[in-house]
Chain A
């Protein structure tokens, strides 16, 4: 059908223009094209152009087609107009001289392959503007422009013509000039329809109905005649094993938790985003932490983890009354605090106010009126900061009664007797009442009890030595010390006095019996200025005995008898001229000896010069006192070496050896530079002196003899050295317990056993040394740390001014510059294994206080047998403390 149509079409349009149409190859292709053209033709039925042809077309115009045609007509027209317009524009854009295209546009389609332009994408309009062809086909033939050769199809050169042609309608209205191919192309109505349908999104071909009624072959309605008559299989009626397996798998997964439902997943995600875990039993019944599986947590801990030390954060302070919203009146804040505190209570005040937590000036009347506390968040934040930023240190707080820290001491009553009360006060007879009242009295600077314990000698700083009877407190003797020149007066203050220890009969064969006994009479050594004065005061029983023996030697029985009687009657002060005689004999004896010694040694070798003072009325009264007859006494004097007046070093102390023949003097006061002749040992029996050390000691302080051995203790700034005199060697060097220098005035009393000694320091410490134990103090006692003392030099206590051991009893005493006297029980055991016991017994305060200077006790000593303590003070008194 198509072929036939085509043929007719060709016949009509082109005639025999193209004879190659018979080609069978092409005809196939053209079938479809002709169909299109047919439709186009059909479309154009109303245009009247193909009327004849239509009429000539014998059949085939189906009713259906016709009806559709009718439908489309209206829209077609519109489209057409559009197309025309579009083409117009196209035409305007193109060159005006497009070749006129005649009806036989289809001819180009016939020889599509052969006649097509093959020049490619070149600007044909430009390049071939002046040519009659537009390029070449695949055979190399020129593709001639339509109408170039003056053919019928020449494009209209005139735009008006072209327009008119198009307006006229008909075929030309649907034509355009293809510049590339160089010919006019006619668009058939069929092609137009195709284009229109595509644009509308409809099926391009009218032949296909996309909405054809669906023929439901397999419907749910059971047909009477089924398509398949096969019986239903069994599997349709039994549960699927496969599915069961699948379900089981899923159920197991769900149970196991590997598979989760969507809801579960959502929940988990939400929880994970929120964080945290649901609480469970983390601590077991015994309170110990458990692991998730119920095992104790501590089991799984590594040793390293267990070692981690945790310092618990301190708890916050509990609120006090002051923080209450309605505090008691005493906890209300005052507007202005009074500033009337004294200086010394500042520390206490500060400490008291440190944790004062008063907050309100007036109570809040009711609870609803409490305002918001604006620092609550800040305070909590600060606590947080404290918790994670503050370094923590573990500090142990003990909550005990402070008394439980005190060491248990034996009862004081078990340690008696010891000096507990002040019994007697000794005062110089020549002190006037006014002087007493004004306090301008000479200070007592030295005190010593004689070996018999019946008299006590006191040295005053106005060059006077007085001797009192211990029991009656009567002044039995007083003498001024001989001052060689008045210039020496200031320097010649008494520093120290010391009785010679009790000696038996001196076994000196050179002496007659009476005289040797007289030589055993008590001798008092007085250190003053740069000299030591030895006096035999002829008081006391020993002196009386000596006098008696001298008298016996002189066969003066009456005198002796009376003397003995007197002694028995307790009148130790009555000596009579015989005692004076003893003294005079003793002085005379030493005078000759000293002269002899000086003669043998030579003046240049002698360390100290020995001499005597005899009673010399012309020189003035050497001795004064209530008893005029005592004025006839003399004394042995030893002048110690002194460099010159500028470098004057007074003799600071005298210490006797236990046997009473040797004594040592120290020139140590203010001796910082050191002088080898500062320590001199004297022998009384031979009136000789010797320098034991060639070495100089810086800061020499004091020297003491060992009570029995030939040993010497020598104190410097911070050390005490022990020398063996017989071997001439240093035995030990003891280190003082403090950094402060040792006290010169306190000296170093040695215990009667010889193994222990004391020394005091300027900072108020007393060190007890055990020579066998260590070179460091066995015990350091800090005294003089009272308030007044600690105010001076950087917290150091008051210096130790005097120390003494009791010769027989376990007692020792330490006196401080703050007018305190500390009495201790100091028991030394013969057993080497047990350490000495030191127990404080009694402290006397404000003893001998001098109001202006604040000085107190200057010297102290014990009674040789009784537990009696003598103290000499700056107020010029001497006190006796008894049990």
Chain B
């Protein structure tokens, strides 16, 4: 009876034992893995973390030992078995035991000596193994950077095994990466959330998103296993140091860069490293790779980013998150003046164009500089346009800070909801872009005629952009930027603004056309829309699509339904938001009327 259960017939009469082929031989439980590797559970976890091995979901759990167990691929475990670290860890454990014994015998000198002789381990081979190409490593960079940024701000606590050296190393790598991002203008998005500050950079076409904590002391919760986190950190430090090396090497910068300790102490962050990021003479930079369309686009994007704060010089108040602001300003083409205002030389003081303060009662000591709140930097950077500064004046009620991630996601497909202020900034950016193009066009003949220095022309172009933006903002019912004195040369500016307006008009026309295209079926849908119900979520289809859907194979119809369901959910969400928006707008209008 039992033998009959254990064996099964496959093919012609050849008896095969159960569990000797197929899924049963491809997976093994965690306990079986421990047995095979002859390691303890914590050791196994460490190895898995370092090696990047994770459990798998077997296709057919019935063929295995149970559905509630954790399964690993047999191949993965075999791969662990040949890992040199396994032996190193064993040796280290042996030393740990010796040290413990010596301590117990109060032979502290021996313990110290043994501790010194404990074999160390390097993880570079794991980096190579896990990330055979540099792109792989960049793709997986989100978690390492977030972890480093977290530990850079965590207090070193001996009780939890957080070594100050590790924290310092984490901070160092974080700053190094930040310096790279700033110097190459590859920062793309900044978002100040409640949880922390999200940053997104474009590194060789890979979008790297990481979160840095707010500059506040972090509490260390007790329900966290810091050993696990430190093991991750161990690997991440190795990984990021190699990535930094590669990135610096590509630009011919020396690695590790030398940090300006004075600047570092004044919390200038990346500024402390940026001075060192110059191509070293001895080591020629790698030959530039052939430019294809994608890299060209990325470069254009970088240039656009570098222009956002071009020609602006910033000074940050003490209460600001200086390191973050420095990174952003540097990455978007601005300059930063470090030091207290009072102690600065007069020429440096006069070069400051923007003062960023985060206090309502700050005295505006620099009359020529514009005082803004930090959010101005973020919004301007995200939308690649200098937002109107008066909205961000110190003490003013700030306009909403929208997520650039959500704007990018929602704006990409129709039906998504984009908040009003985001739309406003987008239009502002478009207008500025159009104005710039137009003024660039008009500038060409002017430069032939004009005998002025080119610098002035450039300034003109910039001014043109600003005025265009201003005009635009007037047009769309917003107040223009603050009282800027009327300048002599308004011709190019006017031309550009006209062209911008024309461009806008055509754009709007195009938009209208698009809208018509989209809405046409809905117009026809008044009589002929068909409602389809998928798991309680209904969506509407045109008669033709409904016909075609009926002919779909079941599998693709399910996929189609799921997609339509997602669209329906998204639309419903946008609808809800619009309703809420109109409600709050109504409430706001009422409140203002009462006043």
- A residues contacting B by CB (< 8 A) are 269-277, 279-283, 285, 287-291, 297-298, 304-305, 307-313, 315-316, 318-321, 323-332, 344, 346-349, 351-352, 359-360, 363-368, 370-381, 383-385, 387-393, 398, 402-403, 405-409, 412, 781-783, 785-787, 790, 838-841, 843
How many A-B residue pairs have C-beta atoms within 8 angstroms? Tell me. Answer: 321
Contact B547 A840, beta carbon cutoff 8 Å = yes
Pick the residue among B128, B321, B409, B544 that contacts A318 (CB under 8 A): B409
Pick the residue among A281, A318, A370, A376 that contacts B246 (CB under 8 A): A281
Contact B560 A368, beta carbon cutoff 8 Å = no
Query: Known interface pairs A289-B133, A380-B146. Does A319 touch B548 (Cβ–Cβ under 8 Å)?
Result: no
Contact A391 B124, beta carbon cutoff 8 Å = no
Report chain B residues within 8 Å CB of A376.
Answer: 150, 195-196, 213, 218
Pick the residue among B165, B220, B405, B565 that contacts A319 (CB under 8 A): B405
Contact B218 A372, beta carbon cutoff 8 Å = yes
The distance in angstroms between the C-alpha atoms of A380 and B152, with both chains bound, is 14
Contact B56 A372, beta carbon cutoff 8 Å = no
Nearest CB of chain A from residue B130's CB, rounded to whole Å = 8
Which 8 A/B pairs are nearest by Cβ-Cβ distance?
A: A347-B536, A272-B120, A318-B405, A277-B122, A287-B134, A279-B245, A406-B548, A328-B400
Query: Known interface pairs A367-B373, A372-B214, A385-B228. Does A377 touch B400 (Cβ–Cβ under 8 Å)?
Result: no
The distance in angstroms between the C-alpha atoms of A787 and B214, with both chains bound, is 50
Pick the residue among A282, A365, A383 that contacts B127 (CB under 8 A): A282
Nearest CB of chain B from residue A271's CB, rounded to whole Å = 7
Q: Does B194 contact A (CB under 8 A)?
A: yes
The distance in angstroms between the C-alpha atoms of A378 and B218, with both chains bound, is 11
Contact A348 B572, beta carbon cutoff 8 Å = yes
Nearest CB of chain A from residue B574's CB, rounded to whole Å = 10
Contact A324 B224, beta carbon cutoff 8 Å = no
Contact A347 B140, beta carbon cutoff 8 Å = no
Report chain A residues within 8 Å CB of B223.
Answer: 378
Report chain A residues within 8 Å CB of B133.
Answer: 283, 287-289
Contact A387 B143, beta carbon cutoff 8 Å = yes
Contact B544 A409, beta carbon cutoff 8 Å = yes
Indicate with 1 or 0, residue by residue over B245-281, a CB within 8 angstroms of chain A CB atoms.
1100100000100000000000000000000000000
What residue of chain A has the Cβ atom nearest to residue B358's Cβ?
A: A368
Contact B194 A373, beta carbon cutoff 8 Å = yes
The distance in angstroms between the C-alpha atoms of A347 and B535, with both chains bound, is 7
Q: Does B343 contact A (CB under 8 A)?
A: no
Size category, B interface:
35 or more
Interface residues of B in 47-66 (CB under 8 A from A): 48-49, 52-57
Nearest CB of chain A from residue B85's CB, rounded to whole Å = 11
Query: Known interface pairs A277-B238, A388-B49. Does A323 touch B120 (Cβ–Cβ under 8 Å)?
Result: no
Report chain B residues within 8 Å CB of A406.
Answer: 545, 548-549, 552, 560
Contact A380 B229, beta carbon cutoff 8 Å = yes
Contact A310 B196, beta carbon cutoff 8 Å = no
Q: Does B71 contact A (CB under 8 A)?
A: yes
A324-B401, A347-B536, A391-B71 known, 8 other contacts, Cβ within 8 Å: A276-B122, A324-B400, A327-B400, A329-B588, A351-B572, A373-B213, A379-B195, A407-B552
Q: Does B513 contact A (CB under 8 A)?
A: no
Contact B244 A279, beta carbon cutoff 8 Å = yes
Pick the residue among B48, B130, B193, B543 that contacts A388 (CB under 8 A): B48
Query: Known interface pairs A348-B569, A352-B572. Does A282 touch B246 (Cβ–Cβ under 8 Å)?
Result: yes
Contact B128 A326, beta carbon cutoff 8 Å = no
Report chain B residues within 8 Å CB of A363.
Answer: 398, 400
Contact B117 A269, beta carbon cutoff 8 Å = yes
Query: Known interface pairs A275-B120, A276-B120, A377-B154. Does A310 touch B52 (Cβ–Cβ under 8 Å)?
Result: yes
Query: Known interface pairs A372-B216, A377-B224, A405-B556. Does A282 touch B245 (Cβ–Cβ under 8 Å)?
Result: yes
Contact B124 A402, beta carbon cutoff 8 Å = no
Contact B120 A271, beta carbon cutoff 8 Å = yes
Contact B214 A311, beta carbon cutoff 8 Å = no
Contact B229 A351, beta carbon cutoff 8 Å = no
Nearest CB of chain A from residue B360's CB, rounded to whole Å = 8
The distance in angstroms between the C-alpha atoms of A359 and B196, with both chains bound, is 13
The distance in angstroms between the C-alpha atoms of A327 and B563, with both chains bound, is 29
What residue of chain B has the Cβ atom nearest to residue A329's Cβ?
A: B584
Nearest CB of chain B from residue A705's CB, rounded to whole Å = 30
The distance in angstroms between the C-alpha atoms of A626 and B241, with both chains bound, is 100
Q: Does B286 contact A (CB under 8 A)?
A: yes
Q: Does B107 contact A (CB under 8 A)?
A: no
Pick the residue among A276, A285, A381, A388 that contacts B237 (CB under 8 A): A276
What residue of chain B has the Cβ atom nearest to residue A278's Cβ?
A: B241
Report chain A residues within 8 Å CB of B465.
Answer: none
- B residues contacting A by CB (< 8 A) are 45, 48-49, 52-57, 70-71, 73, 75-76, 79, 115-124, 127-128, 130-135, 137, 139-140, 142-143, 146-147, 150, 154, 165, 191-196, 198, 209, 213-214, 216-221, 223-225, 228-229, 232, 234, 237-238, 241-242, 244-246, 249, 255, 286-287, 289, 319-321, 358-360, 373-375, 397-398, 400-403, 405-406, 409, 419-421, 530-531, 533, 535-538, 543-552, 556, 559-560, 563-565, 567-569, 572-573, 576-578, 580-581, 584-585, 588
Query: Known interface pairs A276-B120, A282-B245, A326-B400. Does A388 touch B54 (Cβ–Cβ under 8 Å)?
Result: yes
Pick the residue among A319, A320, A330, A405 that contacts B552 (CB under 8 A): A405
Pick the residue among A276, A344, A346 that contacts B238 (CB under 8 A): A276
Nearest CB of chain A from residue B410's CB, rounded to whole Å = 9
Contact B238 A391, beta carbon cutoff 8 Å = no
Contact B242 A279, beta carbon cutoff 8 Å = yes
Nearest CB of chain B from residue A12's CB, rounded to whole Å = 67
Nearest CB of chain B from residue A772's CB, rounded to whole Å = 22
Pick the residue among A309, A381, A790 that contacts B533 (CB under 8 A): A790
What residue of chain A has the Cβ atom nearest to residue B55's Cβ?
A: A391
Report chain B residues within 8 Å CB of A312.
Answer: 139-140
Contact B54 A297, beta carbon cutoff 8 Å = no
Nearest CB of chain B from residue A839's CB, rounded to whole Å = 7
Nearest CB of chain B from residue A332's CB, rounded to whole Å = 8
The distance in angstroms between the C-alpha atoms of A380 and B48, with both chains bound, is 18
Contact A320 B194, beta carbon cutoff 8 Å = no
The distance in angstroms between the C-alpha atoms of A320 and B165, with both chains bound, is 35
Count chain A CB atoms within 10 A of each CB in B116, B406, B588 and give the residue with the most.
B406
Report chain B residues within 8 Å CB of A318.
Answer: 198, 209, 403, 405-406, 409
Nearest CB of chain A from residue B107's CB, rounded to whole Å = 18
The distance in angstroms between the C-alpha atoms of A360 and B287, with both chains bound, is 50
Contact B224 A373, beta carbon cutoff 8 Å = no
What residue of chain A has the Cβ atom nearest to residue B226's Cβ?
A: A381
Nearest CB of chain A from residue B586's CB, rounded to whole Å = 11
Contact B405 A391, beta carbon cutoff 8 Å = no
Pick the residue among A289, A346, A402 that contacts B564 (CB under 8 A): A402
Contact B128 A297, beta carbon cutoff 8 Å = yes
What residue of chain B has the Cβ atom nearest to residue A386's Cβ?
A: B54
Nearest CB of chain B from residue A582's CB, rounded to whole Å = 47
Contact A840 B398, beta carbon cutoff 8 Å = no
Contact B195 A319, beta carbon cutoff 8 Å = yes
Query: Known interface pairs A276-B122, A402-B564. Does A283 touch B134 (Cβ–Cβ under 8 Å)?
Result: yes
Report chain B residues within 8 Å CB of A282.
Answer: 124, 127-128, 242, 245-246
Query: Known interface pairs A287-B135, A373-B195. Does A320 touch B120 (Cβ–Cβ under 8 Å)?
Result: no
Contact A326 B406, beta carbon cutoff 8 Å = no
Pick the residue among A352, A371, A409, A412 that contacts B573 (CB under 8 A): A352
The distance in angstroms between the C-alpha atoms of A838 and B553, with both chains bound, is 13
Contact B573 A325, beta carbon cutoff 8 Å = no
Contact A392 B140, beta carbon cutoff 8 Å = no
The distance in angstroms between the C-alpha atoms of A280 and B246, with both chains bound, is 8
The distance in angstroms between the C-alpha atoms of A31 and B218, with both chains bound, is 93
Contact A387 B400, beta carbon cutoff 8 Å = no
Pick the residue among B238, B360, B401 that contacts A326 (CB under 8 A): B401
Q: List, sorted by A's number, 25 A–B pairs whose CB atoms are closer than 8 Å.
A: A272-B119, A272-B120, A281-B245, A281-B246, A285-B286, A287-B135, A289-B132, A308-B79, A312-B139, A319-B193, A319-B195, A323-B193, A323-B195, A324-B193, A324-B403, A330-B581, A366-B398, A372-B213, A379-B195, A389-B54, A391-B55, A406-B549, A407-B548, A787-B538, A840-B550
